[in-house]
Structure 1
Amino acid sequence: MSQNAPALPPLPWFGQPSARAWRCEPAPAEVWAFHSSLPGYVPTPLTELPPLATELRVGRVFVKDESCRLGLPAFKALGASWAVHRVLAERATSNDEPGPVTLVTATDGNHGRAVARTARLLGQHAHVFVPQGVHPQAVAAIVAEQAKVTEVCGPYDEAVRQAAEAAAAPDGVLVQDTAWAGYEQIPGWIVEGYSTLCAEIDRQLANEGVVGGPDLVSIPVGVGSLAQAVLTHYRSRPSGWAPALLAVEPEAAACVLQSLTLGEPVSVTTGHTTMAGLNCGTPSSIAWPHLRGGLDAAVAVPDSDSARAAARLAALGVSSGPCGAATLAGLRTVLTGGSAEERRTALGLGPSSVVVLLSTEGTAANPLSGVDH
């Protein structure tokens, strides 16, 4: 059980040199095959941006562009579709009546919309709880998927609590992308679903002549589920090469950075941030062992840095909302300023290094960003 974090001074950087030696079990191989069978599935682009490589003083920079994934403007459909597939398969093989269910979740926007879309396509119901501060356009997008929406007077963690209570109804199933003691199976399936993103990167880098894989992957982090999937992918290889993995959070919700600094999972009081999908105060219980063991580094960035990064990506032809652009903002923070050369050395970055930035949403996913302001 997470505890409240004591007050700490700002901690923009945390590093652990042993991370690349940490190992775990791989994700199931059948996840990619499942996604490949879905109508409209195509791998999202991996776009090379040479100007960023020059700016960051590395060999090559690629952006995994999740601005359109299975018809939605963010990567979340990967986890939601696989988890709901597993939920319905389990119910079909059990003694329960396999009638329609209500898929219940809490969200800052993208995950809830993905669950609602999946429910609509499969003839199920959806009930989505949204915390205070979610933009009305994001709520409207969920409603458009024919979901019931309940707006909560409180932060994300309170929305999760209320969603869990509502899912206790006889036809309810909680499909939440964070885990806690006693609720870990479905969040684990969501994490497995994200593995398709990493499998695509492997194939795309090979097609670009990159042997072995990237030297660093920069990952936006809320509760840590996507980071867990990336860690599982790159830390499940038996030996040899492993990339550096960097987690990036908003300064207003740096629960992973605080937890890593203290050496145990803690909850933090979150503030307002335009990086709404990362505005989470408690690490997922199943993500935490992976974050603690396998992350090379974590950094927190202000909204202004994320906005500048989004503008830079837009100028280079990549649509990225504040959460997606956080990965560029975080890497810029790490590789500039005082002690930058020490951090560069700690991450193993040199003039020939290959970097992948995960841009997890397009501007359409976040009404506070870009043209959807």
Structure 2
Amino acid sequence: MTERILVTGNEAVGWGAIAAGCLHFFGYPVTPQNEITEWFARELPKRGGCFVQSQSETGSINMLFGAAATGVRAITTTSGPGWGLMQEGISSIANAEVPCVIVNVQRGGPGAGTTRHGQMDYLSVTRGGGQGGYKNIVLAPASVQEIYYLTQLAFYLADKYRNLVILLSDGILGQMIEPLELRSRSFAPLPEKDWAIKGLKWHKDGRRRVVMAMQGLMPTPPHPPYANYLQLLEALNKKYMMMEKEEVRYDTFEADNAEIIIVSYGYTARVSKEAIVLARKEGIKVGMIRPITAWPFPYQIIREKALNGAKFLVVEDSLGQLVEDVKMAVQGMAEVSLLGALARHDPTDVGMILPERVLEEILKGA
């Protein structure tokens, strides 16, 4: 019988990581993700794992790099200014092709902010926030259960592509409490991590392994043998193209005959779903496309809806970031409107976008 527990979205990250076989956490406390750090501090020692509270997020990301370079599954979590501090390390991880997972529980900005929630890191997460033009798979959950599942998927995809995977949550999802079914996911077999630094005696060929953030500058035999910079770029490009081909994920709700399509993610997708139910009761044909992968983005399904004459309403708790991807998808073939952070119900940090406000916007466009 599947065990069911009542947990926050932040705690679901920990349960998902354990289900994925991750026993190594490096992080620094920052709201609104502190419950994740607390969970790992409490639970990893019980399981023989490694928990390290770093001196800063700059330390966290470099510790993550080092641990993942040995082939173990490792994770760090952060929010707000902590995400900003990690960017140089993330770029180094992209160059080294080290598989690991970061959870970003978004909060409002710009600047340090406070405990306020928000969805304001979308562009920096999906476009590669550091130097060098790299790409990371970005998974965007919308429930406690999905946080648990997507955390497991994140580790699988990281190992599959030797790439960083980011779980993009937000302050409301992180603090939300829902039932969670503790069911581990099964995935296809993965290749052995023969590239990892484990010590000479652990490698059958007796050759030393090198993992560094300067691939393309000099050869790093035997895994991978990039003799020059162009070879590195060709390999990265091939990998990114494969991700775009194989890993696009999205969910739809009442979208088949919809004349208005809402595009949203995270907590605002839940809010929008309630508004759609209300609008449908009034006879309005409205539905939703919810990106599960914020990168690679589901451009094709949105483009198809635009070709069929649908209008689009993007609901996100920012001044407009996700909306840029939707506009690129429709290529000027459809009207795209934004309901953003200025539609919050309260002018203070506790304000959020509510279903009634989304419904109001749907009625305007109907």
What TM-score, normalized by structure 1, do the two folds share? 0.27
Q: Which has the higher contact order (CA 8 A, sep 6+)?
A: 1
Kindly name which structure, 1 or 2, has the bigger radius of gyration based on alpha carbons: 2
What TM-score, normalized by structure 2, do the two folds share? 0.28
